């Protein structure tokens, strides 16, 4: 992809971020309202974008790449966990756990997906979705284990439900089923899914703008 196209995409996203800053400074979007927008983004809009990325014709190469992405994601997370553990060896007590958690579980959700979609299109979102699926699984297993030290049966069942009922996780699973069986959805449903998914980019950038506008630089 040409660097000018990438630069244009980044500038476009930055302009939308400025809209969020403007909305916050003018009190059009309050902090409480922004929390509601985040819920809409994560629980509704983002899953629709993930699902819509699976709704196009796939050749054998892309299907093969999806499988490879799954394995690469596992390897990537194992490397991240190992490297983070090694770098955190000099640090002691609770601070070590918190920093290790922060290193492993970085933001791969509503910030990353719009950028992937803008630069690489639907195919990029598909690969990103596979990576994010591993993120969700590890977050509610390894992530919780870091702080609790062990699993209790009741907690394990509760955490598994959180994984399986996560909207983005469900969207990936449904998308994979559609891809494998080459399911053709009605045009009206297809259009609706894509329309809702297309909101992800602008909405996420506006949210980021609101968050940035409330950061006190002197206190950071």
Q: Is 112 helix (H, G, I), strand (E, B) or coil?
A: helix
Q: Report the C-alpha gap between 193 and 199 in whole angstroms.
A: 10
**Is residue 26 classed as helix, strand or coil in its secondary structure?**
coil
Residue 39 to residue 101: CA distance in whole angstroms = 23
Q: What is the pTM of this model?
A: 0.83
Coarse DSSP helix, strand, coil percentages of the chain, rounded to the nearest 5 percent: 80, 0, 20
Question: Which residues, other chains included, contact 121 with Cβ-Cβ below 8 Å and sequence gap of 6+?
Answer: none
Which pair of structure tokens corresponds to residue 133? 């699926």
Q: If you search the block for the tokens 């602008």, which residue do you land on?
A: 202
pLDDT recorded at residue 50 = 92
Choose among 12, 33, 190: nearest CA to 114. Answer: 12
Which residues, in sequence order, are CB contacts of 171 under 8 Å at separation 6+?
46, 47, 48, 50, 51, 129
Q: Indicate the SS3 state at residue 21.
A: helix
Contact 208, 19 (CB under 8 A): no
Residues 6+ apart with CB under 8 A from 202: 16
Q: Which residues of the chain have pLDDT under 50?
A: none
Alpha helices in 26-165 (DSSP H): 31-40, 46-53, 60-87, 93-104, 112-138, 144-148, 153-164
Show Cβ contacts of residue 50 under 8 Å, excluding neighbours closer than 6 positions: 113, 125, 129, 168, 171, 172, 175, 197
């Amino acid at each position: 992809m040409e660097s000018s196209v990438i630069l244009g995409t980044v500038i476009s996203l930055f302009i939308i971020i400025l809209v969020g800053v403007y909305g916050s400074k003018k009190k059009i979007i309050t902090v409480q309202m922004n929390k509601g927008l985040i819920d809409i983004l994560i629980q509704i809009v983002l899953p629709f974008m993930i699902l819509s990325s699976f709704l196009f014709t796939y050749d054998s190469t892309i299907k093969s790449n999806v499988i490879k992405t799954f394995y690469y994601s596992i390897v990537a997370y194992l490397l991240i966990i190992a490297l983070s553990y090694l770098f955190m060896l000099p640090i002691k007590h609770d601070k070590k756990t918190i920093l290790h958690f922060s290193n492993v579980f970085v933001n791969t959700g509503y910030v990353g997906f719009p950028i992937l979609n803008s630069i690489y299109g639907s195919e990029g979102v598909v690969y990103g979705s596979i990576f994010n699926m591993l993120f969700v699984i590890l977050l509610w297993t390894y992530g919780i284990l870091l702080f609790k030290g062990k699993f209790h049966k009741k907690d394990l069942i509760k955490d598994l439900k959180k994984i399986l009922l996560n909207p983005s996780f469900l969207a990936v699973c449904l998308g994979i089923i559609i891809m494998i069986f080459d399911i053709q959805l009605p045009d009206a449903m297809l259009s609706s899914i894509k329309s809702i998914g297309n909101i992800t980019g602008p909405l996420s950038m506006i949210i980021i703008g609101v968050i940035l506008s409330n950061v006190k630089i002197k206190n950071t």
